[in-house]
Amino acid sequence: MTRITRFAPSPTGLMHVGNAFSALICQQWAEQHHARLLLRIEDIDFNRCRGEYTDAIIEDLRWLGVNWYGDVRRQSEHMPAYQRALKRLRDMGMIYPCFCTRRRIQEEINRMSVAPHAEDTVGLYPGTCRKIPAEQQREHMSRQRYAWRLNVASALKRVDKHLSWKDGEGHRQTVKSVMHDDAIIGRKDIGVSYHLAVVVDDAAQGITHVIRGEDLRPFAGLHRLLQALLDLPEPVYIHHPLLNDHAGNRLTKRYGAITIRSLRKAGMQAESLRDILLHSSDFIWHAWQGE
């Protein structure tokens, strides 16, 4: 069986060194395992994604020497497939409409004294809309915006209680141990969420090995659960270390990570950047001062 992996950036800004590091890790793994590397542009968030960033990412990847197999898959061209998956989950009774705002969720968490620290509330949902009667749901849906949430408890009861996912070392990780709240599967603004789109895409592209940053490890259980519900194949999940700055902060667009475009303009050569990123033993970006 041919092994297939993918690199899947979101075009919400210019490609930075953290993105480049991940792309090179994916390509290196593909070369070592005689696998195909595919390129996917995850651009369903039309509020933040831009076509010019897609073009820039593709150009920077080519400059960097990242080669992929076949055509580039763009999520924005496959919205009907995600909507069909969402409808299937709804028909199964696995999702429910959520009318909560972020503020309301935070107020409910505070009232319940669930988490005394703000940082502990990230991703936590107290189940406010889970038990709204069907008639009230329909009434609210007719006059309010809403998202779709996965009823994790119901979903876990429907699938094999021993459901797990396989990591790069061949170990099985239990899904139930990392599932803690009802994740948003259909967003209010763009219709579907990253979580649903990514499992549909991985199945459509025949991905056998998902290689991505350690920051996405907490979502592996959710993605495996969605695969089980939708009868989609199970890939192996490999999570690589993240590239950080000297203060230990992950390099991201939000915090101004240096872009590939700026390094190119400064005269850096692709071979030099590849060497720096692939042979960094401490996973820390050391500022390049020019040659």
Does the pLDDT value for residue 8 go beyond 90? yes
pLDDT of 167-199, one tens digit each?
888 889 888 755 568 889 998 888 899 999 999
Region of poorest pLDDT, from 26-30, 107-111, 283-287: 107-111
CA distances from 104 to 68, 111, 113, 126 (A): 44, 10, 14, 10
The percent of residues above 70 in pLDDT, for the chain, comes to 85
Looking at residue 256, its pLDDT comes to 59
Mean pLDDT of all residues in the chain?
87
Looking at residue 218, its pLDDT comes to 87
Confidence of residue 110 (pLDDT cuts 50, 70, 90): low
Q: Report yes or no: 103 and 112 within 8 Å, Cβ to Cβ.
A: no
Whole-number Å distance between alpha carbons of 226 and 247: 36
Does the pLDDT value for residue 121 go beyond 70? no
- What lies within 8 Å, CB to CB, of 250 at 6+ separation is 18, 215, 242, 243, 244
Q: Looking up tokens 């993918």, which residue turns up?
A: 6
Cα 123 to the center of its chain, rounded Å: 14
More confident residue, 23 or 249: 23
Q: Which secondary-structure segment (H or E) carries 3?
A: none
* Residue 78: closest CA among 188, 187, 204, 212: 204
Region of poorest pLDDT, from 201-210, 220-229, 277-286: 277-286
Does the pLDDT value for residue 117 go beyond 60? no
Cα 129 to the center of its chain, rounded Å: 25
Q: Are strands 73-74 and 95-98 parallel, antiparallel or unpaired?
A: unpaired
More confident residue, 18 or 201: 201
- What lies within 8 Å, CB to CB, of 87 at 6+ separation is none
pLDDT of 135-161, one tens digit each?
999 999 999 999 999 999 999 999 987
Phi, psi for 190 (deg, rounded to 5): -115, 5
Tell me, letter by letter, the H, E, C secondary structure of 178-215.
HCCCCCEEECCCCCCCHHHHHHHHHHHCCCCEEEEEHH
Average pLDDT over residues 262-277: 93
Looking at residue 250, its pLDDT comes to 72
Looking at residue 54, its pLDDT comes to 97
pLDDT of 67-92, one tens digit each?
999 999 999 999 999 999 999 999 99
| Burial per residue of 129-147, b for 16 or more beta-carbon CB atoms within 10 angstroms, e otherwise | beebeeeeeeebeeeeebb
Whole-number Å distance between alpha carbons of 180 and 124: 8
Q: Report yes or no: 276 and 61 within 8 Å, Cβ to Cβ.
A: no
3-class DSSP state for residue 77?
helix
* Residue 7: closest CA among 42, 32, 33: 42
Radius of gyration of the chain (CA): 20
Region of poorest pLDDT, from 39-48, 166-175, 277-286: 277-286
Confidence of residue 127 (pLDDT cuts 50, 70, 90): confident
Which domains does the chain possess? 4-77+243-278 (3.40.50.620), 80-186 (3.90.800.10)
Whole-number Å distance between alpha carbons of 243 and 280: 9
Question: What is the separation, in whole angstroms, between the first and last Cα of the chain?
Answer: 44
Looking at residue 122, its pLDDT comes to 41
Q: Looking up tokens 């150009």, which residue turns up?
A: 59
